[in-house]
Amino acid sequence: MIKQIGTRLWKIITSFELTIVSLALLMALVFLCTLAQVHLGTLGAVNAYMRSFIVWWQPQSMNISIPVFPGGTLVGMALVVNLTASTIKRLAFTWQKAGLWIVHIGLILLIAGEFATGAFQVDTSMAIEVGQTVNFVESPRSMELAVIDTTDPAYDDVYSIPEATLAREGTVAIPGTPLAIRVRKFFRNANLSALGQGDQPSMATAGVGPGVKVVGAPAVTRDEEINHTTAFIEPIAGGRSFGTWLVSTDLGAPQGFTYEGRSYRLLVRPRRIYLPYAVTLKKFSHDVYPGTDIPKNFSSLIHLSNPGTGEERDVLIYMNQPLRYDGKAFYQASFGKGDTLSILQVVGNPGWLIPYISCVLVTIGLLIHFGITLRRSVKRRQSQKEG
């Protein structure tokens, strides 16, 4: 009985039907994902359609989600299983089939590479002004609450609480300090405005918060939109509360309090990841074609300084020419402030080499296979003519 089920299962996962159904489902997903980008933005659409097991549909005005379609992850896994199993089952280990073997191994690698990217790729950016030295990258899509001890004028001690922790709305003790932060309310995205006459009083009791009205908003995913991450927090130290503060990426005003002679500042900002080396922007160039505003070239001349390895060198980063360093790649992404600010995109993806390898494999494999097929068909035509 079990053997029977096993045989049937093996038959299904090695079948051409599964290949074709999976490929067709993938086509449908890719098509839907492309259309959805108009409203959801690239990241939102990819997360909904490609990087999910199931595509959910939420009818308007109803608070339920209905599974409507298998997601990209599921289809991708089905394809990998089908590809692996049917390659083993169907392809004889002969020179005739060598091309197809190589193609399928290359494809498995390619899909695996996309899974690796989804799982491990870290997208960050580095905004740097001419003359400025920066030793951190920022994650534009996740925020943090930074508690900065500014007592010593020579340096700051930075303690940060990532967004995911804030979202749990509990009390977080900050190691190395007597402080704890109680998160009373968290908004992934919110609209802030001045508190009007008839509005409910704010939850905040200290800082600028009492004068601000906060309305939660749905989180956005479109590339050009950003979330105004906002929270009401209550610093606690030595059993005493320092009041409830409103903190938000949308608030410019610095806020802070003093405890036992130490000054602390509170702010929400894009999550920072500090690097063991520093980058100084020496020069940013932005050329346009004469008489037009068509960009001809962007480039950033940076100085890289790594005290750990003693490296000191200049690097020119420009379009199609990133700097690969320390497992990260630095790309010229954008610019601003009258061409004095350069924005570099910093990407860490341990699997970045996989697609290159798989591309070479599939190309060679297809060439071999179609080469063999072509030779056979030419031979057949010749023998037909002779016969």
Partner 1 sequence: MKLAKLFPWLAGVLALAAVLFAMLPSGKVRGFDIQGFASLPVLEGGRVKPLDSVARNSLLMIRGQQSFRSGGHTFNADEWLLDLMLRPQVADQQPVFRIDDPDVLGLIGMKQSSNRYYSFQALGPHLEEVQKQAQAAQPIEPQKRTRFQSAVVNLFERVYLYYKLRNTLQLAGTPGLAFEMQTLGTPDASQRHADLAQVAQFRPLPPLPGQNADAWQSTGEALRAADAGSVHPALPLLAQASQAYATGDTNGFNGAVKALEARIAAERPEFVSHADHEVLFNRTQPFYQGMWLYVAALIVVFVSWAWKPEILRPTAFALLCVGALVHTGGLIFRIVLQGRPPVTNLYSSAVFVGWGAVILGLILERLYKNGFGTAVATAAGFASLIVAQHLGTEGDTMEMMRAVLDSNFWLATHVVTITIGYSGTFLAGAIAIGYTIRKHLVPDPDPETTRSLVSMAYGIICFALFFSFVGTVLGGIWADQSWGRFWGWDPKENGALLIVLWNAIILHARWAGYVRERGLMAMAIFGNIITSLSWFGVNLLGVGLHSYGFTTNGFWWLMGFDATQALFMFLCLMPSLRSATHRHA
Q: Which residues bind partner 1 (CB under 8 A)?
A: 16-17, 19-20, 23-24, 26-27, 30-31, 33-35, 37-38, 42, 45-46, 50, 110, 113-114, 117, 121, 123, 288-292, 294-298, 319-322, 329, 331, 333, 345-347, 349, 352, 355-356, 358-359, 362-363, 366-367, 370, 373-374, 377
When the beta carbons of 282 and 296 are compared against partner 1, the nearer one is 296
Nearer to partner 1, 57 or 356 (CB): 356
Task: Count the neighbouring beta carbons within 10 Å of the beta carbon of residue 88.
Answer: 11
Alpha helices in the chain (DSSP H): 2-13, 16-45, 72-90, 98-120, 163-167, 354-386
Of 102 and 247, nearer to partner 1 (C-beta) is 102
Q: Are 38 and 58 in contact (CB under 8 A)?
A: no
Nearest distance in Å: CB 345, partner 1: 5
CB of 16 to partner 1, least distance (A): 3
CA distances from residue 35 to 31, 55, 220 in whole angstroms, order as listed = 6, 14, 17
In whole angstroms, how close is the CB of 364 to partner 1 at the nearest point? 11
For the chain, how many residues are written? 387
Closer of 232 and 298 to partner 1 (Cβ): 298
Phi, psi of 269 (to 5 degrees): -150, 165
Nearest to 177 by CA among 290, 266, 49, 53: 266
Helix (H) or strand (E) holding 331, with range, is strand 328-336
| SS3 call for 128 | strand
Give me the least distance between CB of 164 and partner 1, in Å please: 23
Q: What is the 3-state secondary structure (H, E, C) of 206-274?
A: ECCHHHEEEEECCCCCCCCCCCCCEEEEEEEECCEECCCEEEECCCCCCEEEEECCEEEEEEEEEEEEE
SS3 14: coil
Tell the smallest beta-carbon distance from residue 46 to partner 1 (Å). Answer: 5
Q: Cβ closer to partner 1: 148 or 220?
A: 220
CB nearer to partner 1: pick between 63 and 292 = 292
Backbone angles phi, psi at 84, to 5 degrees: -65, -50
Closest approach of partner 1 to the CB of residue 302, in Å: 16
Q: b/e for 16-30, b at 16 or more Cβ within 10 A? A: eebeeebeebbeebe
* Cβ neighbours of 70 (radius 10 Å): 20
Min dist CB 117 to partner 1, Å, is 7
Supply the minimum distance, in Å, between the C-beta of residue 124 and partner 1: 10
Residues 6+ apart with CB under 8 A from 46: 33
Q: Which is nearer to partner 1, 20 or 164 (CB)?
A: 20
Residue 333 CA to residue 343 CA, distance in Å, equals: 6
Question: Do 180 and 309 contact (CB within 8 A), yes or no?
Answer: no
* Residue 135 CB, nearest approach to partner 1 (Å): 20
Nearer to partner 1, 4 or 292 (CB): 292
* Smallest distance from partner 1 to CB 156, Å: 30
Distances (CA, A) of 270 to 76, 98, 137, 226, 370: 32, 50, 9, 11, 51
CA-nearest of 356, 385, 378 to 109 is 356
Beta carbon nearer to partner 1, 47 or 150: 47
Q: Which is nearer to partner 1, 268 or 333 (CB)?
A: 333
